[in-house]
Each structure stands twice: as structure tokens, then as C-alpha cells.
């Protein structure tokens, strides 16, 4: 059996050799994406190229920020004035000697690199105002218009012609400012005995009130709190500096404890410990990622060092500035309307701080009220003096 098979194959080979087939070009080898890069992933150049027109204008206003000492990129920035002002993410630039790299252009194919200094900050939005010795820059245009609605496609501009990332708006723009919410400073877990304290934040209201690990929280302001969510809602509905009464159980003893709440905004690191640990599964999160007075949430994947640049819609309009990578599938941007207000005084080298104007107005109103009260006091004093004279005259008679 084997012998016949071999003969058959040998004959076939001879026929094949005597009558060669026409030459055909070899089949094209499929292109293989580099290791670690998905050919059709969100960061693939072929995919990003489809969105390049959306950042054609915005990328000229986009800047990369580097730490001079380490040469590592620490943030992105956005040009906001032709005379050399940029805005970036403040918390990523702390204690760093920085330099910036502008987008490539026909005038400067390699991009323009120079030193920059921080001239002002806006703590509420975690923004830094930078100044470079340059003019004729391409400033971004921030329109005072409603932010994108959920489902709107968005792109993040880069110094290159391709965008950094693309995605969609996730939820409506909202305030994440929790400075007016009370903060006690304990981490709780549910047990059969009640809500047990697992950690007490240093220098918090809980620490000042003498609360300790393993204390059981039973009531807040006379109301039984049976779940952690109920406790958070009850305490969060109170204002900073407000006094709350807690009933706790320590060992076998019931105790009533008074605590004067602090503001959540005073303890950003402590608040982050309460976050879902799965949020960091996609990589490092921005150190400052909450508390913004206005924020637009989207699903573009941005590293902390990629925050600070423009966010655009598919028409190329700049709808905000990316400010934080805040979760596993979420990032935050400051809406364009908020930026338009902050930048009203940018040419003076300062952010416009609405709270300063409000405080100045309140101060002026109080001064007017004091003046009115002083005049009223003077009139009353004059009346008292007049009555005293009349009394003196009558008593003298």
C-alpha cells in the first residue's frame, strides 16, 4: 500500500515539474499591529485619523507641558491668548520647573519649545494660568453656550494633527462642588451590631470629637442609621460647622457624642478613599478629580498627564478643557461657558474670580448698612441727649 502511494506521488511530481503553473504574485501578508496596540482600538492611528478634521483648528491651540528636571510630560495646556497666556491643570504642575511644547506648524515643523511660569491659579477648577514669552499664538475660542448633551461625540486635541482620543459625553454637565456638605471623617462598615468605625481621619470632626476605631454608630441627631448609605445621606445633608449629636456604643457602654462637622472639600484625599477601588483598574487617576463647580463627564480615556487640553465636538467647536481622569471609564472637562467667564480678565494675567466680585459686593452692601446704622445711631443719640436736657430742666425746677 505504501509503495503504490509513493509511486503515485512521484508520478504527480514529475507531471507537475514538466508543466509549470503560470507565475502569480504572492498573497499580501496582513498588517500586524504592534504588540500592545489594537489595530482598531481607540488609540489606533487609522481610527483616530477618521476624527482628525474635528481637531484641525483646536490642535493649533494645544500645548504639552513638561517637567524640566525629568523631561517627562506632566500635563497638557491650552492657549487662551495670542500674547502668551495658557491654561493647564494646576495640581499636576505643583513644585515643578516647567517648559511647554507647542503644536507643529509650517513655521515651526518640530514644534516650539520654551519655558513657562505660573502667574495665577483657580483652586475651584484646579486651573493654572501660565505665561510664556511669545506672541502671535493661536488662542482657543470658548463659546458661552450650553454644554454637549449625553451621547454627543467628542474628541481630545493633541499637538499632533490626530486627536488624543475620542468618545461620547456621558451625563449632563453638573456641579461636583461638595464644599457645602458636612464631613465627619469616619469610614464605616455594616456589622450585626451596627455601623462599626474602621478608620478615623486625622484632624477631622470625628477625631476632634474623640470617636475611635471599633466604636458602633447607632444614631445621628436622634435618628437610627441602619446602613452606611443612610449615614452618608444624613451627615451629608448637614452643613459644615453644624453640630451633630451621635449615639455610639463603645464596648458595652452607650455614649452621646457631639461633633462639629467640617467641609468635605477640606479633605479631598480622605474622600477619595471612599471611591470604588475598581476605578483605578484602567490606570492612574488624577490626584485632583472632584469638587469642580461645573464638570462635563465623558468616556474618553485620558492619562493624568494628558489633561489640560481642548475638548471638541465633531464640528470642531471647543466645548471644554479636559481637567481630570476620574474613573475607570470616565474623565471630566470644564465646560466652555465656565471658561469664558474665568478668562474675562486673562489679559491682566489673572483669572476672573466671581466669588471675589460677590464678596466685594457683599462688603460694599455691609459698609452701606453700617453707614446707615451709624447715622441712625447719631439721630437716636441726639434724641436721647435732647430728652436728657428736658429731664434735667424739669428736675432742676
Q: Which of 210, 209, 215, 211 is nearest to 191 (CA)?
A: 215
Phi, psi of 290 (to 5 degrees): -155, 175
For residues 198 and 189, what is the distance between their CA atoms, to the nearest angstrom? Answer: 7
pLDDT of residue 314: 95
Q: Which of 181, 326, 32, 188 is nearest to 334 (CA)?
A: 326
Phi, psi of 205 (to 5 degrees): -60, -35
Element (H, E) at 190: strand 186-191
CB 221 within 8 A of CB 209: no
CB 52 within 8 A of CB 113: no
Reported pTM: 0.70
CA angle 284–286–290, rounded 5-degree value: 135
* Length of the chain as a residue count: 397
| The C-alpha cell that represents 133 in the structure block | 514669552
| The C-alpha cell that represents 276 in the structure block | 470604588
For residues 340 and 320, what is the distance between their CA atoms, to the nearest angstrom? Answer: 10
Cα(first)–Cα(last) distance of the chain, in Å?
156
| The C-alpha cell that represents 53 in the structure block | 478634521
DSSP string across 375-386? HHHHHHHHHHHH
Which is it for the CA torsion 142, 143, 145, 148, positive or negative? negative
Residues 6+ apart with CB under 8 A from 98: 65, 66, 67, 68, 74, 115, 116, 117, 118, 130
pLDDT of residue 207: 94
For residues 137 and 155, what is the distance between their CA atoms, to the nearest angstrom? Answer: 22
For residues 88 and 176, what is the distance between their CA atoms, to the nearest angstrom? Answer: 19
Domains of the chain: 36-175+291-372 (2.40.10.120), 182-269 (2.30.42.10)
CB 354 within 8 A of CB 337: no
Residue 210 DSSP one-character state: T
CB 207 within 8 A of CB 200: yes
Please list the pLDDT of the chain residue by residue as tens digits (397 residues).
444 333 333 333 333 333 444 455 555 544 444 544 567 777 888 889 999 999 999 999 999 999 999 999 999 999 999 999 999 999 999 888 999 999 876 556 667 899 999 999 999 999 999 999 998 899 999 988 889 999 999 999 999 999 999 999 999 999 988 777 888 999 999 999 999 999 999 999 999 999 999 999 999 999 999 999 999 889 988 989 999 999 999 998 999 999 999 887 777 666 565 555 666 667 889 988 988 999 999 999 999 999 999 999 999 999 999 999 999 889 999 999 999 999 999 999 999 987 777 778 778 888 888 998 999 999 999 999 999 988 888 887 5
Q: Which of 111, 110, 121, 125 is nearest to 63 (CA)?
A: 111
For residues 153 and 292, what is the distance between their CA atoms, to the nearest angstrom? Answer: 23
For residues 188 and 225, what is the distance between their CA atoms, to the nearest angstrom? Answer: 12
DSSP string across 60-107? GGEEEEEETTT--EEEEEEEEETTTEEEEEGGGSTT--EEEEEPP-SS
pLDDT of residue 8: 32
Element (H, E) at 7: helix 2-18
CB 306 within 8 A of CB 322: yes
Residue 303 DSSP one-character state: -
Residue 23 DSSP one-character state: P
Amino acid at each position: 500500500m505504501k509503495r503504490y502511494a509513493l509511486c503515485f506521488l512521484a508520478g504527480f511530481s514529475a507531471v507537475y515539474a514538466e508543466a509549470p503553473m503560470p507565475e502569480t504574485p504572492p498573497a499580501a501578508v496582513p498588517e500586524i499591529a504592534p504588540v500592545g496596540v489594537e489595530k482598531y482600538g481607540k488609540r489606533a492611528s487609522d481610527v483616530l485619523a477618521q476624527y482628525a478634521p474635528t481637531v484641525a483648528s483646536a490642535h493649533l491651540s494645544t500645548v504639552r507641558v513638561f517637567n524640566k528636571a525629568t523631561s517627562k510630560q506632566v500635563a497638557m495646556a491650552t492657549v487662551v491668548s495670542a500674547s502668551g497666556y495658557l491654561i493647564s491643570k494646576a495640581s499636576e504642575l505643583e513644585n515643578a520647573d516647567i517648559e511647554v511644547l507647542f503644536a507643529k506648524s509650517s513655521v515651526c515643523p518640530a514644534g516650539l519649545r520654551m519655558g513657562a511660569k505660573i502667574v495665577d491659579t483657580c483652586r475651584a477648577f484646579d486651573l493654572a494660568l501660565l505665561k510664556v514669552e511669545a506672541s502671535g499664538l493661536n488662542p482657543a475660542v470658548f463659546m458661552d453656550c450650553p454644554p454637549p448633551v449625553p451621547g454627543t461625540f467628542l474628541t481630545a486635541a493633541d499637538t499632533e494633527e490626530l486627536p488624543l482620543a475620542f468618545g461620547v459625553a456621558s451625563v449632563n454637565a453638573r456641579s461636583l462642588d461638595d464644599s457645602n456638605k458636612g464631613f465627619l471623617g469616619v469610614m464605616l462598615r455594616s456589622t450585626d451590631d451596627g455601623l462599626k468605625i474602621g478608620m478615623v481621619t486625622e484632624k477631622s470632626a470625628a477625631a476632634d470629637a474623640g470617636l475611635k476605631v471599633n466604636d458602633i454608630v447607632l444614631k445621628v441627631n436622634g435618628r437610627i442609621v441602619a446602613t452606611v448609605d443612610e449615614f452618608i445621606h444624613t451627615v451629608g445633608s448637614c452643613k459644615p460647622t453644624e453640630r451633630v449629636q451621635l449615639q455610639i456604643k463603645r464596648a458595652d457602654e452607650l455614649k452621646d457624642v457631639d461633633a462639629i462637622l467640617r467641609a468635605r472639600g477640606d479633605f479631598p484625599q480622605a474622600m477619595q478613599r471612599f471611591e470604588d477601588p475598581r476605578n483605578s483598574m484602567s490606570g492612574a487617576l488624577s490626584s485632583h478629580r472632584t469638587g469642580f463647580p461645573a464638570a462635563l463627564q465623558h468616556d474618553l480615556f485620558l492619562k493624568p498627564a494628558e489633561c489640560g487640553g481642548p475638548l471638541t465636538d465633531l464640528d470642531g467647536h471647543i466645548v471644554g478643557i479636559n481637567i481630570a481622569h476620574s474613573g475607570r471609564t470616565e474623565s471630566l472637562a470644564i465646560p466652555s461657558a465656565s471658561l469664558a467667564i474665568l478668562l474675562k480678565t486673562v489679559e491682566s494675567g489673572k483669572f476672573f474670580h466671581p466669588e471675589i466680585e460677590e464678596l466685594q459686593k457683599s462688603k460694599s452692601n455691609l459698609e452701606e448698612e453700617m453707614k446707615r446704622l451709624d447715622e441712625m445711631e447719631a439721630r437716636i443719640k441726639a434724641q436721647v441727649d435732647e430728652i436728657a436736657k428736658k429731664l434735667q430742666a424739669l428736675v432742676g425746677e
